[in-house]
Structure 1
Amino acid sequence: MSDYYWDSKIDYLSKTRWLYYNDDYLEFLIKSVWKITSPVRIIDFGCGYGYLGTKLLPLVPEESTYTGVDFGNKLIDHAEEVFKDTPYKTQFILGDIQEMDFEQNYDIVVCHAFLLHVENPKEILQRMIGCLINGGRIICFEPHWISTMANYYLDGYNTSELVQLGFLQKLFESDMKRSGKDGNIGIKVPVYLSQLGVKQIECRVSDRVNFLDPNSDTLKMDTLYTSLKEDGFGADPGVEETFISNLVQRGASYEEARNEYKVESLVSKVFKNDVFLTYAANLKITTGVIKR
């Protein structure tokens, strides 16, 4: 487990999760939409360092509990450190969700940007459902990459100069067919849940629109710029031949890969912390209730 990829990404996770939501929106969902008014037992599939726990526990009623499950031992260690001095009741379990058995003992099961990394999302959703008591709620925060890519505006450039939507849509679909892992899973979760027998299904989008404003507070904007770079926008595409070769292996034609290299090279050069940029991650938030 020491070589688990996400164990090396704690810094990335901590710098980018906040780009998706405003805290008051999560509070609105919990208190006004899902109406969680009594203590709940929460289990988080692919919990990472416990990000969702840090957001949900201050908002749900006292005496609620949070159990996080992840395959990364460094992630679990970090999560335990994050919650060490808090008043919340937490437990973290190291293990492979694909092979673990879970008791039907939870009021809420959640996942955050987890299903896109698995080859069998419907099977994982079934496992999540299996954790819940009658009347329990499943909540999935998952991306829809193609709508995310459509949600950038860099002042002074046409969006078509920076993002090849048609090509990327085909590339993401090709990736899914090849690997089973689906970066567009967020838009499909409502369908999958219905097919698995979940009731009262609703889907929303994350609310935050990030605005990089050179006329605003410098420290605040530097933090946002760093997080956006960490999230991948404006990243250096690296050596051209290697970049093109990788995309061709993923199903792109040579010309498509070459054009994408030009686009990403342009973005890496023009995206600086003194430009105007708006960006919305547009994650899909799907929930439903289990009726047994």
Structure 2
Amino acid sequence: MSYEGLPGFKKLLMQRYGINSIEEVQDPLAKMYLDFALSTVYRAELVKNIILKYTDIKGKRYLDVGCAYGGFLASFEKAGAVDVTGIDINEQLLDYSRAVIADCNSKARVYNKNIVNGEEVQPLGKFDLITCNDVIEHVDNPKAALNNMISMLNEKGTLFMQIPNRMSASFIRSDGHFQLFGISILPKPLADKYFNAVYPASRHDVTYKSLNYYLNNLKELGMECNVIKPMQEDKDKSLKSILNTFNECEKLINEDLISIPPELKDTVKKRVLKMSALFKRQYNKYLNLKNTGSNSSEVLAGKLIQKFGEDFWIILAGKPVCK
């Protein structure tokens, strides 16, 4: 289903953006946000298809944490999920969800609740399936969010998470939230300073964590985790693409990066060069191993692609089955 099948949703978007057609939007960042909104059902379908490879959806009680534009609610209900529920802390985004729900004649319910606050969300009960898609990096206490989501899972429940990778070469070149060069690899206080210099009237609500941070916390909560590898092209082709992106980053360093506060330019440059050099050392090691016919070259290639090539990590977590 495209946005063409969501007239109420599209109308609300047009009103909020103050436009009569999508083509009117020229600002790259605004266009990125608008495209993201309009793809809400399409993105949900992609996630649904991943989940269906590992577990059923039909008949399962479903919660979408950070439901935003509502596409996941409509898509998963259509796939047979029951008692479909969405939560978000942004009332404006919940308006979009309600528009999508109405357009789809869905019975889904949405609530203004914060996953970090257990007292707010626990009354919703237990769920068989919970999704948290591009959300966890926006919460101010990810440990509490993880704990509350796990506590809301039924004994055989499944948690699906999609999380942006701050080390992705393409995100270093232009991050997935604000299209800012190098911001994703800065420590949080410096990233805040960078963001506030560009968008002084807004709040920088993004905090990146490592993949191991999430895996370790989920394991501490008693979960078994499966990191889903995306469909990959030839590994050599993927690695060359990462190399080309880092080369682009090095070229950008030599340009007049007017968006970066002057006092942060040297820091950004050093960090970008450090990441590029780290990848290139490991890439050369991979090439040497491959030339010698070592099987470990494939292992190293996989690690490099996961660390620098995947824009998002996908985690499926569930409670161990007692035998």
TM-score > 0.5, shorter chain as reference: yes
| More deviation, 10-19/125-134 | 10-19
Aligned counterparts, 1:90-105, within 5 A: 90-99=108-117, 100-103=120-123, 104-105=125-126
| Residue 88 of structure 2, aligned match among 70, 77, 85 | 70
Deviation, structure 1 residue 12 = 4.8
Q: TM-score, normalised by structure 2?
A: 0.54
AA of the residue aligned to 2:62: I
1:126 matched to 2:147? The reply is yes
AA of the residue aligned to 1:110: T
Residue equivalent to 1:255: 266
Partner-residue secondary structure (3-state), 1:286 = strand
Q: Is the 8 A contact 1:106 1:133 kept in 2?
A: yes
**Residues 177 and 16 of structure 1, relative CA distance in 2, 3 Å threshold:** closer
Q: Is the 8 A contact 2:116 2:141 kept in 1?
A: no
Instruction: State the identity %.
Output: 17
Deviation, structure 1 residue 133 = 1.2
Q: Is the 8 A contact 1:44 1:69 kept in 2?
A: yes
Aligned counterparts, 1:91-240, within 5 A: 91-99=109-117, 100-103=120-123, 104-149=125-170, 169=185, 171-172=186-187, 182-186=207-211, 188-199=213-224, 201-205=225-229, 240=258
Higher helix share: 2
Residue equivalent to 1:225: none
Q: TM-score, normalised by structure 1?
A: 0.59
**Residues 12 and 56 of structure 1, relative CA distance in 2, 3 Å threshold:** farther
**Residues 76 and 26 of structure 1, relative CA distance in 2, 3 Å threshold:** closer
Deviation, structure 1 residue 79 = 0.5
AA of the residue aligned to 2:108: T
Deviation, structure 1 residue 118 = 1.9
**Based on CA coordinates, which of the two structures has the bigger radius of gyration?**
2
**Residues 55 and 123 of structure 1, relative CA distance in 2, 3 Å threshold:** same
AA of the residue aligned to 2:159: I
Residue equivalent to 1:285: 314
Deviation, structure 1 residue 291 = 4.8
Deviation, structure 1 residue 51 = 3.4
| Residue 46 of structure 1, aligned match among 66, 73, 83 | 66
Higher strand share: 1
Q: Is the 8 A contact 1:47 1:70 kept in 2?
A: yes
**Structure 1: gaps (5+ residues):** 1-6, 154-161, 210-233, 261-279
Q: Is the 8 A contact 2:129 2:158 kept in 1?
A: yes
**CA deviation vs aligned residue, 1:145-164 (integer Å, no higher than 9, x gap):** 212526979xxxxxxxx976
Q: Give the number of aligned pairs.
A: 219
- CA distance in structure 2 between the aligned counterparts of 1:69 and 1:118, rounded to whole angstroms: 13
**Residues 112 and 150 of structure 1, relative CA distance in 2, 3 Å threshold:** closer
**CA deviation vs aligned residue, 1:205-248 (integer Å, no higher than 9, x gap):** 45599xxxxxxxxxxxxxxxxxxxxxxxx9xx9993x7325xx4
- CA distance in structure 2 between the aligned counterparts of 1:180 and 1:76, rounded to whole angstroms: 18
* Higher relative contact order structure (alpha carbons within 8 Å, sequence separation ≥ 6): 1
Q: Is the 8 A contact 1:205 1:282 kept in 2?
A: no
Deviation, structure 1 residue 35 = 2.3
Deviation, structure 1 residue 63 = 5.2
Q: Is the 8 A contact 1:47 1:69 kept in 2?
A: yes
AA of the residue aligned to 2:99: E
**Residues 144 and 75 of structure 1, relative CA distance in 2, 3 Å threshold:** same
AA of the residue aligned to 1:113: D
